[in-house]
Chain A
Amino acid sequence: MEEQWRMQTEENPNFAVIDNYLCIRMPKEVDHHGAAAIRENADRLLLNEQVRNIVFDFENTSFMDSSGIGIIIGRYRKISSLGGRVYAIHADERIQRILKASGMSSIIEVLL
């Protein structure tokens, strides 16, 4: 995976397009403050690259509030109408609880 992250976009090292997957490395804390930048970067890549699926990587994330759910739902809406899927990986217990409490875990794939 680390090898593949080198194919990241020049503007932001936390976004990478691998095959037709847009991989987004989520920050340490996902809140309203950082949400707009994540949305804008993701949507630019969705528009300009051959992306079918999205992977949210929570490896570095220890906090997420409902702003994170907004980010996921928004991207899910864009990609699911075209038959794409949304995945969450490396989510710790807390993030899994947030994904479950918000109903996210029924529309996206939470991989352990």
Chain B
Amino acid sequence: MMRREAKGMKEEMKLEFDAISENEGLARVVIAAFLTRLDPTLEQLQDVKTAVSEAVTNAVIHGYEEKGGKIRMSAVLEKGELKLTIEDEGVGIEDISKAMQPLFTTKPEGERSGMGFSFMEAFMDRVEVESSPGNGTTVHMCKSFQENILSQSKLLSGQV
């Protein structure tokens, strides 16, 4: 049976969880499980898990300043592309381009490396951030899995 996504329909999942550090690992496990259907390489899996870990950690530490709240993660697979969204209703970011600069951190005392957004950009194809003070933060990230879809459909049609 062909998967919905292979027939051009989208596949989707949404998860809401508490903004506590224990759930950084939960978010990584869930996104990895969702991607299994694409038969991803270890590298692709690690790339997405790292990006998710960075975004969720940012929400826990910066968005909610470690006081807790809710984080929503959603993932959509459509036309061979993964669209990931990680959203919080925390304090928001005043200067997004500054926050995204490598090594910039507002929490050096907590020994944050300032590499969070750099890692998201390094391991995903596209990263966009929507945020303003008091209005929370939404991180959109995309990554192409076109090749995985292609090799799956070749397998199904007996071309391999």
Interface residues of A (CB under 8 A from B): 29, 31-33, 35, 39, 63, 65-67, 69-71, 73-74, 94, 98, 101-102
Give the Cβ gap from A95 to chain B, nearest Cβ, in Å.
10
Interface size on B, residues (CB 8 A): 25
B50 CB–A CB distance under 8 Å: yes
The answer on a CB contact under 8 Å between A65 and B111 is: no
Q: Interface on chain A toward B: helix, strand, loop, or mixed SS?
A: helix
Given the interface pairs A65-B57, A73-B111, A101-B122, the reply to whether A33 lies near B116 with Cβ below 8 Å is no
Q: Which residues of A contact B24 (CB under 8 A)?
A: 31-33
B35 CB–A CB distance under 8 Å: no
B6 CB–A CB distance under 8 Å: no
The answer on a CB contact under 8 Å between A31 and B25 is: yes
Q: Which residues of A contact B46 (CB under 8 A)?
A: 63, 94
Given the interface pairs A31-B57, A32-B60, the reply to whether A66 lies near B116 with Cβ below 8 Å is yes
Residues 107-126 of B contacting A (Cβ, < 8 Å): 110-116, 118-119, 122
